[in-house]
Chains A and B, each alone.
Chain A
Amino acid sequence: MSNTIDLEEMTKIEGHATLRMRVSDGTVEHLEIRALEGSRYFEGLLRGRLYSEAAEIASRICGICSVTHTLCAYQAIENALGVSVSAQTRSLRRLLHFGEFIRSHAAHLYFLALPDYLGVPSTLSIALEQRGVVEKAIQLMKLGNDMVRVLGGRDIHPVAMAVGGHRRIPTQTELDDIRSRLEVLRPAAVATAELFNSLPYPELKDAAERFSLYDETEYALISGSTRSSGHEFEQKDYAQFVSEYHTPENTANFVVREGHTYMVGALARIANSRKQLSSEALALLKASPVEGRLDNPFLNNPAQAVELVQSFDDCLAILEKLRPEPEPVPQPRVQAGHGIAAVEAPRGILWHEYELDDEGKITHANIITPTAQNLRSMEESLQALLPHIVALGREKVAAEAEKLIRAYDPCLSCAVHFLNVEWL
C-alpha cells in the first residue's frame, strides 16, 4: 500500500520548507524537500543598479548571512573593478565576519540543533532547569552581535563595509572591549565544543565531496582557493568546475562537473583546513566524533562547535596586532569589468558574480548560496537515512529527517534558486 505523507512545515530552520514523501510497503519511493519561500528575484533587481549599491541590496537576501552577503558582494565588485584593500581593511572584515560566525553558530547550535538532542521543543523551554546552557548561548550570541555592531555599524545588514575600504574605523577602546570579552567567553566556546562532542549522533555515511575555501596561511573564510579531496581551483574559475542544473521539476542542484555531489559548511571546512586549526581547536577536533568520520553529515554540528573555538582564537590573534589607524575609503576608478568572489557563510561557500558596464552599472548578477549547493547532498543523505527509520512511524521519521536537514544549518531565505527538490 502506498501512502503520501506531507509533513508539517519544518520548525527551527531559517526560512520555510516541508518534506513530502511517498512510502510503499515500508519503502520510501519518493522524497521531496519543498522550499516554501516565494521568489524575490534579487539577481534581476540588481541589474541596472550602481556597483556601489550591490552589497546593500544583496544583503537582504538573508538576515542571518547578511555579513557574508555584504562582504561577498563588495569583494566581487572589487574584483570587477580591480580594487585591492589594505591589510587593516582585511583585518576589520575578518573580525566582522567572525562576529557573524560566532553568533550564527551559537544560535544554530543552541537554539535550532540542541533541542533535537535534548528532546525538547525549544531551548528557551529549558530555561529554568538548565539556565546555564541558555545563558552561555545568549552570551555567545551577544558577543557575536556586538562584534557585528561595532565593526559593521548595525547588527543585521551591516553598513560599515565599502568598495575598497571600511567606512568607520573602530576605536582602540572598542577593539579592546571586544578582545577582553573574547577572552572572558572563550571558556564558554570551549564548553560548547565539549557539549557537542558529547552528544549521541546518529550513524550515517554519505559520499559527497567536502568543498570549502582553502588558504595555506589561515583558516580560510573570506579568501583563498576552492578545495575538496578531488578538486582545487581558483575562485574565478568556478563556472568551469561547479555546475548548476535544473531537473524537469525545476530544481536547482549543484554538482562538481564530473558529476560528484558536494557538501559545503563547517564539516567541509574542517575536512580541508585541519592544518590551519588553532592548537585547542585541533585538540577539540581530535576528541570529537568528527575525527575520522567526516563522512557523516550529522557531525556538521560538532564541527561548527570546533569552529566556534577557532573563531575565538583567530579573532584574538587579529586583535593582538591590530592598531586601528584612520584610513579614508578610496574612490575606485569606474570601468567595465567582471568579478567573482567566494566567502564562507556559516553554512558554506557563497558565490557572488557581477558584470559591470563602463558606467559601473550592473548588467549581470549571479548568486549561488550554500544551501542551494547543499541540496543534492541533503537529498542523498536523506535517501541513505530513511530506509533505516521508515518503519518507526511518521513522527519518528519526521523528527529524524528534520534533525538531519537541520544539521546542514540550511538557510532557505538564502537559497534564492531553491525551488522544489525531487528525490528518487
Chain B
Amino acid sequence: MSNKLKVGFFGITGCAGCLESVIFNENEIVGLFNLVDVQAFPFIKGANNDQALDVAFMEGLVASPRDLETLKHVRENAAVLVALGACAGTGCIPAMRHFTPIENYQHLLREKEDDIKDVEPTPIDAHVKVDFSIPGCPPNGKEILEVVKTVVAGKTPRNYPSPVCIECRRNGKFCLLEYGKPCLGPITYGGCGAICPASNFECWGCRGQMDDANLPAFIELLESKGFDWDFIQKRLRTFVGLKIPALEPIREELLKAEKVK
C-alpha cells in the first residue's frame, strides 16, 4: 500500500493549457509521478481513478451541465480541490460572454444535446468549495509543482502577494506604461516572473486583480494615456471580468469628478 498523496488532474471546458503546464515540467514530471500517486490524469493516461483522492486539480470553467456534473463529482471525491488556472479561478476569456452583447455570438448558437447545452460561463467556485486557486493563463508549471510539494509537506500553499511590477523591476525592464502601453501590471498579482512585459508585451491581468488595487486611479491613468472607455473596460475584464468590481459606477464617479472625459 502506498502512503503517497493520491492526486488527480482533471479538466472541464477549457484549452488544456493548464494541464499542459503540468506536463511541461519536463524533467520534473517523472519526479512528480514518483512524489505523489497520480491516480487520474486522463489527458495523458488511460485507467484513471477518481475516487478518494487527497488532492484534485481542476482545469477549466463550467460552460455546460456536464462540466458541472464532473466538477461536483470530483469535489465530492477529493479532500482538497485546487482550481488550476484562470478558467477555473475566474472564468477567464470565455466568461467575457457576460460582457458581450448577444448579437455578437447569436450566429454561433446551435441546438445541442442536454448535457452540453450552454450554461452561464462561470469559475468553479461559483458552484463548489475551492480550497486553493493557482492563478494564471496558464500558470507557470513550476508553480504547480510548488503547490504539490507544499501540500506533500503538510503546509498550506500561498499565492504571490505583490503586483507584477515588482518582478518586472527585478527583471530590469523599462515600464511599458511609460511607453504608452496599457499594461495592467500595477493592479495584477505577480508570481509569473513578469514574463509578458519581459517580451515587451503588456500585462493583460491574467493572474487576477489585486485586492487593494486602486481601480479608479488606474482607469484615470489609462484614459490619460489616450485609451478610450470601450477599450479600457474590455481590457480590464478580459481575464477576470467576473472577479472585479462593477466598472460602470467607477466610471460614473470619475466622470462626475471630471477626472475623465
Contact = CB atoms under 8 A, between A and B. Distances in A.
B99 to A, nearest CB: 9
Interface stretch (B24-32, B154-162, B183-191, B246-254): B24-32
A135 to B, nearest CB: 9
A44 B45 contact: no
Contacts of B112: 39, 250, 419-420
Interface string A22-41: 00000000000011111111
Contact of A41 (B19, B105, B115): B105
Interface stretch (A77-85, A156-164, A214-222, A281-289): A156-164
A5 interface: no
A11 B26 contact: no
Nearest to A65: B15
B14 to A, nearest CB: 7
A14 B43 contact: yes
Given A40-B63, A127-B33, A413 B104 contact: no
Nearest to B60: A38
Contact of B27 (A103, A138, A168): A138
Contacts of A48: 100, 104, 230, 234
B64 A12 contact: no
Interface centre among A39, A134, A160 (most CB of B within 10 A): A39
Contact of A156 (B20, B100, B118): B20
A60 B137 contact: yes
A292 to B, nearest CB: 32
A340 B46 CA distance: 39
A111 B23 contact: yes
A250 B110 contact: yes
Contact of B18 (A38, A63, A121, A152): A63
Interface centre among A9, A152, A157 (most CB of B within 10 A): A157
Nearest to A37: B13
Contact of B16 (A62, A123, A134, A154): A62
Contacts of A115: 45-46
Contacts of A122: 41, 44-47
6 cross-chain pairs, A with B, having the tightest CB-CB distances, nearest first: A44-B105, A63-B17, A38-B63, A153-B199, A122-B45, A38-B13
7 contacts: A40-B97, A62-B17, A64-B17, A122-B41, A155-B24, A250-B112, A420-B112
Interface of B: 11-21, 23-24, 26-27, 29-30, 33, 38, 41-48, 61-64, 66-67, 92-94, 96-97, 100, 104-108, 110-113, 115-116, 118-119, 121, 137-138, 141, 195-196, 198-201, 204, 230-231, 234-235, 238
